[in-house]
Structure 1
Amino acid sequence: MDFLNSLLVQPFADMFAAPDFLMQVLWEGLVSGILYALIALGFVLIFRSSRIFNFAQGIMVVFAALTLVGFHEMGVPAWISVILSLGVMFVLAVSIERVVLRPLVGQPDIILFMATIGITLFLIGFGELIFGGENKIMITEELGIPTGEFIFEPFGGFLLLEQKDVTAVVVAAVLVIALLAFLNKTRMGRAIRALGDDHQAALSVGISLQTIWVLVWFIAGIIALVTGIAWGARAGVSFALEVIAYKALPVLMLGGLESITGAIIGGLMIGLFEKLFEIYWGQPLLGGNTETWFAFVLALFVLLFRPQGLFGERIIERV
C-alpha cells in the first residue's frame, strides 16, 4: 500500500502542492521538447522526400555547431561564421547527394540506411580530426543571444526564465512557421510534398530527384545548425551532444516518420513527460537519471497500441 501511494498518489500531490515549481518543470520540459522536435523535423523532411531514414541527422547537429565555433576560433566574426557554416552544410548536402545517394538510386532501403550510418561515422572522424574532441563553448554573446535571467509571473505565479531558452523557443517557432510556409506556398516546397506523396508520379512530371535531395539535406543542415546553437548554448558543443540528438528517435516513433505535425507534437510530449517523470517519479523512487531512457520506453509503449505512431498513416496491404 505504501508503494502504491508513493507511485500513484504522492507525485500528483507534490505537483499541485507547489504550482510555481510545477510551472518551472513544465517550462524546462517545453524547451527540451521544442529542440527535440527540431531535430526530428530533419529526419521527417529527408524521409518524406526520399524514403531514407537519415541516421546522420544527430551528428549533423554536432558537426554544424562545431563548424560555427571553429570558424569563430579562426578569427571570423560571429555572423560571418554562421553564413560560412551554412555554406559548409550546403556543400555537405551536395556531396552526400553526388557521392553517396545518386549511385545508390534504386537500391533497397536498408542499403540507403546503412549509407547514412557511414555518413555518421565519416562526420565523427572528420569532425574530430578538424575540431578535436574537447568540449567547446558556444558563442552565444557574439551572436547576440542574451544569457541573463528574468522573472515571469503568469497568473500570479513565479517562473524563472533564462533568456537564451526564450530565444531558442522563439527562433524554433519562427523556423517551423517558415518551413511550413515554404512547404505549402512555394513551388519547390510543393515538389518536396509531391515526391513524398507519390514518388513515381512526381518523377514522371519532371521533378528532379537530385535537386530535391540536395534541397532537403540542406534544409536539414539549417535545422541542425539552429538546433546545435540552441543546445550548445545550454550544454556546450562536443560529440556528446550527439546522444541528446538521438532523443529525436522516440519523437519519430511517437509522431510517425512522415508527419511534420507529429514531429512537433511528439517532441513536446517527450520533453514534457520525461521532465515530469524525472522530477516527480524518477528522483524520489528510482534515484534519478531517468531522462536517458524514459523517452524510449514511452515510445515503445505507444507503439504496442499504434505501430505507425500517433500521427503516422496506417499501412493497409491487400492480398
Structure 2
Amino acid sequence: MNIDWLFLIEVSVGGLLSGVMYSLVALGFVLVYKSSGVFNFAQGSMLLFSALTFVCLIERGWTVWAVLSITLVAISLLGMLIEFSVLRPLVNQPPIVLFVATLGVSYIIEGAAQLLWGTQVHALDLGIDDTPFEVGGVLISQFDLFAAGIAGLMVLLLSLFFRYTHIGLAFRAVADDTFAGLAVGLNIGRLWAVVWAAAGIVALVAGLLWGARLGVQFSLSLVVLKALPVLVLGGFDSVAGVIVAGLLVGLIEKLGSVYLGPLLGGGIDSWIAYAVALLFLLIRPAGLFGSHRLSRL
C-alpha cells in the first residue's frame, strides 16, 4: 500500500494542534484534583459561563479589554466561591460525595447562565482567520495554530507560576502531602481558593477558544468530555501528563478518523480515544505520569 506521506504529516499536525486544546481543558481538572483530590465536574459549566458572559457583553457593545477583565474577575470569583461555599464544608468526605457536589454545582451554574444570558446560540469571533496556509506542502489551519499557541502559553505560564512563586511552591507542597503542609503552617484554604481561581482562568481561555470553534451554546460544556481520555492517559495529577496525553489523543482521533473511518464506519473520532483510554486503564490505571496510590488494609 502506497502511503501519501505529505498527507499523513498534514493529518498528524492537525491532530497535534487539536490535542493541545484538549490538554488545556484537562489542565483545569488537574489543578483542582492535584491540590484537593476533587474531580471537578463543574469545570465544563465554568467554561460555558465564561464564554457566554464574554460574548454577551461583547454583543452589548462593550470593549474587548473591558469585557475580558470583567469576565476574568467574574470567573475567578466564581471558582473561589465554589471552593468556599461547597467544597470546603465537605472536606474529608468520600470522593463520590465531592464528585456529586461538583455535579450539582455544574447544573446550578448552567441554570444561572441560562437565566442571566438566555439560551440562544452565539457566534464568537476572535478575529483569527481560519483559512489554512501552506508550509512545505502541508496545510495548517491558522486558527488551530493560534489556539495551540495560546493553550501552550497558558500551560507554560501556569507551570512557571506553580514552580517559581511562593504560592506555587506552597501548592506543590500541599499537593505532595496535605498534612505536612498543615504542620508547617501553610494556609490550605487560601491555597485551594487560588487553585480554583486558576481553574476558572483556564476555563475562560478554553471557553473562548472552543466557543470560537464550535459556537457559544449550552452544549459547549460537554467539551470537558474530551478531557476524560486525556486525564486517563496522562494522569489526573500530572500537568506534564495531560500535555503529552492531549497530543496523543488529538493524534489518535485524527489518524483514526482518516485511516480507520472508511473501514469501521463514520464517527470513529467520537469514540476511539475512549476505547484507547479504556484499554490503557487495564494496563496502567495511574496514567503515563500519574502518581501510584497504595492502599494498606
Whichever residue aligns with residue 302 of structure 1, its letter is F
Aligned counterpart, 1:87:
73
Equivalent residue for 1:314, pick from 287, 292, 297: 292
For the Cα contact (< 8 Å) 1:164–1:233, is it kept in 2?
no
Q: 1:85-164 counterparts in 2 under 5 A?
A: 85-141=71-127, 146-154=128-136, 158-164=137-143
Whichever residue aligns with residue 86 of structure 1, its letter is L
Aligned counterpart, 1:5:
none
Whichever residue aligns with residue 272 of structure 1, its letter is L
Aligned counterpart, 2:283:
305
Equivalent residue for 1:269, pick from 248, 262, 265: 248
Once residues 243 and 285 of structure 1 are traced to their aligned partners in structure 2, the CA distance between those partners, rounded to angstroms, is 28
For the Cα contact (< 8 Å) 1:59–1:242, is it kept in 2?
yes
Q: Does 1:254 align with 2:236?
A: no
The alpha-carbon deviation at position 318 of structure 1 amounts to 4.3
The alpha-carbon deviation at position 216 of structure 1 amounts to 0.8
Once residues 107 and 27 of structure 1 are traced to their aligned partners in structure 2, the CA distance between those partners, rounded to angstroms, is 43
The alpha-carbon deviation at position 38 of structure 1 amounts to 0.7
Equivalent residue for 2:177, pick from 189, 198, 206: 198
The alpha-carbon deviation at position 63 of structure 1 amounts to 1.4
Per mean C-alpha deviation after superposition, the further-off stretch among 97-106 and 271-280 is 97-106
Larger Rg: 1
Runs of 4+ in 1 over 6 A off after TM superposition: none
The alpha-carbon deviation at position 220 of structure 1 amounts to 0.8
Once residues 130 and 246 of structure 2 are traced to their aligned partners in structure 1, the CA distance between those partners, rounded to angstroms, is 26
Q: How large is the RMSD of aligned CA atoms in angstroms?
A: 1.5
For the Cα contact (< 8 Å) 2:18–2:148, is it kept in 1?
no
Q: 1:2-21 counterparts in 2 under 5 A?
A: 13=1, 16=3, 18-21=4-7
Q: Does 1:52 align with 2:45?
A: no
Structure 2 unpaired stretches of 5+: none
Note closer, same or farther for the CA distance 1:108–1:150 as it changes in structure 2 (3 Å cut). closer
Once residues 211 and 7 of structure 2 are traced to their aligned partners in structure 1, the CA distance between those partners, rounded to angstroms, is 25
Partner-residue secondary structure (3-state), 1:247: helix
Aligned counterpart, 2:274:
296
Aligned counterpart, 1:178:
157
Structure 1 unpaired stretches of 5+: 1-12
Equivalences, count: 297
Cα deviations by residue, 1:48-67 (Å, 9 ceiling, x for unpaired): 11111111112221111111
Once residues 296 and 80 of structure 2 are traced to their aligned partners in structure 1, the CA distance between those partners, rounded to angstroms, is 39
For the Cα contact (< 8 Å) 1:46–1:52, is it kept in 2?
yes
Once residues 169 and 207 of structure 2 are traced to their aligned partners in structure 1, the CA distance between those partners, rounded to angstroms, is 28
Whichever residue aligns with residue 307 of structure 1, its letter is P
Aligned counterpart, 1:3:
none
Q: Percent identity?
A: 43
Once residues 152 and 35 of structure 1 are traced to their aligned partners in structure 2, the CA distance between those partners, rounded to angstroms, is 21
Whichever residue aligns with residue 147 of structure 1, its letter is D
Partner-residue secondary structure (3-state), 1:240: helix
Partner-residue secondary structure (3-state), 1:135: coil
Once residues 30 and 133 of structure 1 are traced to their aligned partners in structure 2, the CA distance between those partners, rounded to angstroms, is 33
